[in-house]
């Protein structure tokens, strides 16, 4: 457990990244995606205003998830120092990623307040976004817990596939088609792997450090991380269960469809 820097120093260095990300997200959502979405799919123009807004939001979500996932994968593969000191290792690239993610969730939350119906689903998203932004605020402001922050950003790996599933539904892709099922299987595998199966290692690392002097120095920051991650993991487990049930239902529907097609083919052969 090497200690590189144990002083908590508040910095404004990465706040412009938050502001810039917020502005870019709002501009793309309001100006760019409403313009290019009809060109990507004619179905866009047939959707309700509410669905068009969600379409644009999911386009933005997919773009954001791709950016932060690429940065996350790069640091996971090539930044060994962060593993050696999970608490104090200050990694500028991870701080930038956390700032980007925070700017996005702030903009996305405001968008949901204005353009989306307020129901239990949006409330869960508010909890998810709020917990993530609150935790990442400490990372890009103080430069601590980079390892843990980077680990949590892996949750974004499945976002593009989740959004693709929604897009397929809106353009009426057959739920028993190979395209729909393959995306669903990939989505479920990545979602469960990145958000649920990764939990034991994450919480074991916290267990190793939780009684240490390092955690004591962090004070409220350590408590915020633990509480925020608990909220996020509860939501991830809930969404994973729902996703696994949905995947099971779709696979069964595909199996029944194939079975019926084989049965019809056999009957047709007998009649001939």
Give the torsion through C-alpha atoms of 92, 96, 102, 103, to 10 deg. 150
CB of 17 closer than 8 Å to CB of 100: yes
Whole-angstrom Cα distance, residue 140 to residue 95? Answer: 4
**In this structure, is the dihedral angle defined by the CA atoms of residues 160, 165, 167 and 171, taken in order, positive or negative?**
positive
Classify residue 134 as exposed, middle or buried by CB count within 10 Å of its CB (0-12, 13-18, 19+): middle
173, 180 Cβ separation under 8 angstroms: yes
Q: Give the span between the Cα atoms of 164 and 88, in whole angstroms.
A: 37
| N residues, the chain | 272
- What is the total count of domains within the chain? 1
Give the three-state DSSP class for 96.
helix
Residue 251 domain-assigned (yes or no): yes
Position 134 in a domain: yes
- pLDDT score at 158: 93
**C-alpha span between 89 and 144 (Å, rounded):** 7
Q: Is residue 1 part of a domain?
A: no
Asked if 209 and 147 count as a contact pair (C-beta separation under 8 A), the reply is no
Q: Three-state DSSP class for 40?
A: helix
Name, in order, each residue with C-beta under 8 angstroms of 41's C-beta and a sequence gap of 6 or more.
167, 171
Q: Is residue 7 part of a domain?
A: no
Residue 4: inside a domain = no
Whole-number Å distance between alpha carbons of 147 and 76: 9
pLDDT value of position 1: 44
Residue 186's pLDDT is: 93
φ, ψ for residue 84 (rounded to 5)? Answer: -75, -30
Structural domain boundaries enclosing 150: 15-259
Q: Is residue 223 part of a domain?
A: yes
Give me the pLDDT at residue 269, please: 53
Which residue in 123, 143, 140, 23 sits closest to 81, CA to CA? 143
Q: Is residue 90 part of a domain?
A: yes
Per-residue CA distances from 130 to 102, 126, 229 (Å): 9, 6, 11
Does residue 270 belong to any structural domain of this protein?
no
* pLDDT number for residue 257: 63
Q: Distance between CA atoms of 5 and 257, rounded to whole angstroms? A: 61
Whole-angstrom CA distances from 21 to 102, 152, 216, 243, 244 are 8, 19, 33, 30, 33
Give the predicted TM-score (pTM) of the model: 0.86
Return averaged pLDDT per consecutive 10 residues of the chain, 272 residues in all: 63 96 96 94 92 94 96 90 88 95 95 86 85 90 92 93 94 87 91 93 91 87 89 90 83 66 54 56
d(CA 63, CA 25): 10
DSSP structure string for 172-196: T--TTSHHHHHHHHHHHHHHHIIII
> How far from each other are the two terminal CA atoms of the chain, in whole angstroms?
76
């Amino acid at each position: 457990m090497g200690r590189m820097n144990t002083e908590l120093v508040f910095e404004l260095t990465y706040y412009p990244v938050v502001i810039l990300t917020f502005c870019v997200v709002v501009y793309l959502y309001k100006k760019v995606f409403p313009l290019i979405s009809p060109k990507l799919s004619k179905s866009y123009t047939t959707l309700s205003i509410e669905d068009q807004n969600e379409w644009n939001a999911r386009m933005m979500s997919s773009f954001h998830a791709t950016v932060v996932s690429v940065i996350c994968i790069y640091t996971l593969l090539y930044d060994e120092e962060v593993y050696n000191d999970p608490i104090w290792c200050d990694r500028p690239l991870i701080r930038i990623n956390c700032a980007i993610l925070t700017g996005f969730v702030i903009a996305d939350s405001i968008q949901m307040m204005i353009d989306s119906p307020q129901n239990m689903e949006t409330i869960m998203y508010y909890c998810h976004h709020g917990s993530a932004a609150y935790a990442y605020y400490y990372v890009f402001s103080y430069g601590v817990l980079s390892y843990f922050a980077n680990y949590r950003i892996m949750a974004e790996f499945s976002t593009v596939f989740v959004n693709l599933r929604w897009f397929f539904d809106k353009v009426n892709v057959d739920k028993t088609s190979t395209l729909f099922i393959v995306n669903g299987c990939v989505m479920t595998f990545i979602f469960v792997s990145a958000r649920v199966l990764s939990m034991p290692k994450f919480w074991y690392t916290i267990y190793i450090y939780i009684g240490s002097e390092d955690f004591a120095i962090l004070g409220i920051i350590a408590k915020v991380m633990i509480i925020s991650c608990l909220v996020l993991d509860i939501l991830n487990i809930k969404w994973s269960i729902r996703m696994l049930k949905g995947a099971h239902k779709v696979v069964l529907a595909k199996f029944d469809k194939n079975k019926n097609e084989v049965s019809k083919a056999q009957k047709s052969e007998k009649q001939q």
